[in-house]
């Protein structure tokens, strides 16, 4: 087991990509704390882990954009398990709208969840990781950390910003044995993407089938969606990587949707 006796906190772990990562880490022996604004979904994921794997897991209610909520959640985890070895900063939301129509409130809402959320969870975990002189931080970026698409300005901006934060953490964390990397998935069929299909169809004036074929999958090498399992496999590889050789990097997992 690659993560035996390690502890991990996964934000947004109640659904989609985060849930798959939490389950994958638990299967590899990690105790996982699932932190989600939707506590019912976090509890359901914990129930699945404890029932199927007989391994301890915990759920905490957390709004990653709220300082007190993040600090409270990370403290609850370390009170129970004493340390945090791995942070997966994954919670995310999307907003589809043209820049000219976008309200400041919607701009801020997306940046708050992705950027404030990544900073606040990083700070809370890094304090513990520095004391322990070891830790791994994974940010859930996107192909939109590398390129832009229409109608997604705040999301594209936030996802690019995560690469900057990751590099800063990699520089500051190195002397404490802390490394940081970004995972950049292509389109994955989670609730976040299912909601986008009709929204993009309406905004672009095309059918939902064309959103899938021409917007989401056209640039892939095989016409396939990236899966939650694809992303979790990369997260496991990064979380279990044995040295600081792999830090400050952003790894694209997108069936070739974007290549560099």
Q: Which positions are catalytic?
A: 155
Residue 220's beta-bridge partner residues? none
Orientation angle between helical segments 117-132 and 153-173, nearest 10 degrees: 10
Shortest distance in whole angstroms from residue 175 CB to ligand NAD: 29
For the CB of residue 160, give the shortest distance to ligand NAD in the complex, in Å. 12
Please report whether residue 62 would count as binding ligand NAD according to CB under 6 A: yes
Three-state DSSP at 214 gives helix
| Rounded CA separation 13/16 (Å) | 8
Site string for ligand NAD, 72-111 (x = CB under 6 A): ------------------xxxx------------------
Q: Does 142 bind ligand NAD (CB under 6 A)?
A: yes
Q: Which of 26, 21, 22, 20 is nearest to 5 (CA)?
A: 26
The one among 57, 113, 182, 253 contacting ligand NAD by CB under 6 A: 113
Q: How far is C-alpha 159 from the geometric centre of its chain's CA atoms?
A: 10
Under the binding rule (CB under 6 A), the answer on residue 154 touching ligand NAD is no
Applying CB under 6 A, does 182 fall inside the site for ligand NAD? no
Residue 137 has which token pair? 């931080």
* Minimum CB distance to ligand NAD, residue 70 (Å): 9
Q: Which residues is 88 bridged to in the sheet? A: 10, 138
Tokens of 97: 């709208």
Dist. CA 70–CA 89, nearest whole Å: 12
Q: At its nearest, how many Å lie between ligand NAD and the CB of residue 187?
A: 4
> Which residues here bind ligand NAD, judged by CB under 6 A?
11-12, 14-18, 36-38, 41, 62-65, 90-93, 113, 140, 142, 185, 187-188, 190-193
């Amino acid at each position: 087991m690659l993560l035996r006796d390690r502890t991990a906190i996964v934000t947004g772990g109640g659904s989609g990509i985060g849930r798959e990562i939490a389950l994958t880490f638990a299967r590899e022996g990690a105790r996982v704390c699932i932190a989600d604004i939707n506590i019912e979904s976090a509890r359901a994921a914990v129930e699945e882990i404890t029932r199927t794997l007989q391994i301890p897991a915990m759920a905490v209610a957390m709004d990653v954009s709220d300082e007190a909520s993040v600090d409270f959640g990370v403290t609850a985890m370390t009170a129970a398990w004493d340390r945090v070895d791995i942070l997966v900063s994954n919670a995310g939301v999307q907003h589809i709208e043209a820049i000219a129509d976008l309200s400041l409130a919607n701009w801020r809402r997306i940046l708050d969840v992705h950027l404030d959320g990544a900073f606040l969870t990083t700070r809370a975990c890094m304090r513990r990781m520095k004391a322990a002189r070891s830790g791994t931080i994974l940010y859930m970026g996107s192909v939109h950390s590398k390129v832009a698409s229409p109608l997604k300005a705040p999301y594209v901006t936030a996802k690019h910003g995560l690469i900057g934060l990751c590099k800063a953490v990699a520089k500051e964390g190195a002397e404490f044995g802390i490394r940081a990397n970004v995972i950049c998935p292509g389109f994955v069929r989670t609730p976040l993407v299912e909601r986008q299909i009709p929204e993009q169809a309406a905004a672009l004036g095309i059918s939902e089938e064309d959103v899938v074929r021409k917007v989401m999958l056209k640039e892939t090498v095989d016409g396939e969606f990236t899966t939650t399992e694809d992303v979790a496999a990369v997260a496991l590889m990064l979380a279990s990587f044995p040295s600081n050789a792999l830090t400050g990097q952003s790894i694209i997992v997108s069936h070739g949707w974007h290549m560099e």
